[in-house]
Amino acid sequence: MTEALDLPLARSAVNRDYLSRTKSGLFEELANNSSTKYLPIFDGKVLLNGPADHPSPELKLFSAAELPAPLYSVYLGAAEGAHHLEDGSAIVLNVYEKDQAELIQSNPDAWQVLRRTGGGLSPFDAGIYAQSLALFNWHTTHGFCPKCGAATEITQAGWVRICPNDSHEIYPRTDPAIIVSVIDQQDRILLGSQGIWEDNRWSVLAGFVEPGESLNAAVIREIYEEAGVKVIDPVYLASQSWPFPYSLMLGFTAKVDPNHAKNELVPDGEEIEKLRWFSRAEILAEAKDLLLPGRMTISRALIENWLGETVISATELNSK
């Protein structure tokens, strides 16, 4: 099935150019090319050209001469169709620690995590942001060999970590997770709220795919575990990266099993504390008070795909 939703983190304008990752002296070659651009990242945060709440934020890219030596670098690939870069320009992720980051930008508030504000990024910026943050998070959590515990070494332009003891190679991981708009016989959507959220924050339900499990099976299991609802006919809609830390969100819609339509909603009490069925009229009438997922998320896309229109919720009103 073709992807039906336009998702911010499903876009890309980067040729990942994987064959270049094994080239000897790659980073030196790239540094000597004036068209190469660098994205610095510190503690999972990046810099922007202009304020984070700008309707069209843009990642701040640098030349090699403008940056100090990084902790390590990752070759992301070559630009394709980027509105502000020529095609073929190399893009490199530079990872920094606090002291190094202060040499680039001394104001700590200037460094941004774009979990909620990144919905306005261009396809190019959204693609390299998701790629960069996922790789940063993977490197941060996979610094040691799972077999012997030795500190691993970075190779292949930042795409592989290798154990110095037995040459065991560790590759970046992606955790698949399903996320589902559950629709009942009255054409209402099921939204849940976690206990740590504000009272009026709601989202569709999601969960990780377990080992040996198909995506459809994961949809059916997760919805029953989190809400006590049995669903049928899962239909795949779209996917996007979610680099918090390194997930791939697989969006589905599913119908409530008519044989169990009258069952009560049963929040699992761990991840989900409250559940509620919303009609379209209720979403529109209560929008100014509802904290719906941000526009960077597939959650919001699934809700508006069911709704049939975009909606301005308290999430957007509060950010202005």
Q: What is the pLDDT of residues 52-67, one digit of tens each?
A: 666 678 899 999 999 9
Average pLDDT over residues 197-226: 96
Whole-angstrom CA distances from 176 to 126, 229, 279, 318 are 19, 22, 29, 31
pLDDT digits (tens, 9 = 90+) for 122-160: 888 888 999 999 999 999 999 999 999 999 999 999 999
* pLDDT score of 52: 64
The encoded tokens of residue 40 equal: 């610095």
* pLDDT value, residue 270: 87
- Domains along the chain? 8-141 (no CATH), 175-318 (3.90.79.10)
> Where residue 1 falls among pLDDT bands split at 50, 70, 90?
very low
pLDDT at 12: 76
Structure-model confidence comparison of residues 124 and 277, the more confident one: 277
Please, which pLDDT band fits residue 320 given cuts at 50, 70 and 90? low
Tell me the mean pLDDT in the region 202-207: 97
152-165 in b/e form (b: 16+ CB < 10 A) is bebebbbbbbbbee
Rounded to an integer, the average pLDDT of 256-265 is 90
Residue 3: per-residue pLDDT: 45
Kindly give, in sequence order, each residue whose CB lies less than 8 Å from that of residue 221, ignoring residues fewer than 6 positions away.
207, 210, 213
Comparing 10 with 96, the larger pLDDT belongs to 96
Asked if the model's pLDDT at residue 107 lies above 90, the reply is: yes
Quote the pLDDT of residue 263.
Answer: 80
pLDDT of residue 55: 65
Query: The whole model's pTM is what?
Result: 0.90
DSSP letter, residue 80:
S
pLDDT reading at 195 higher than 90 = no
What Å distances lie between residue 271 and 189, 196, 207, 275, CA to CA?
A: 19, 9, 10, 11
Least confident of 52-56, 81-85, 87-91, 259-263: 52-56
CA 63 to chain centroid: 26
- CA dist 245 and 306 (Å) reads 27
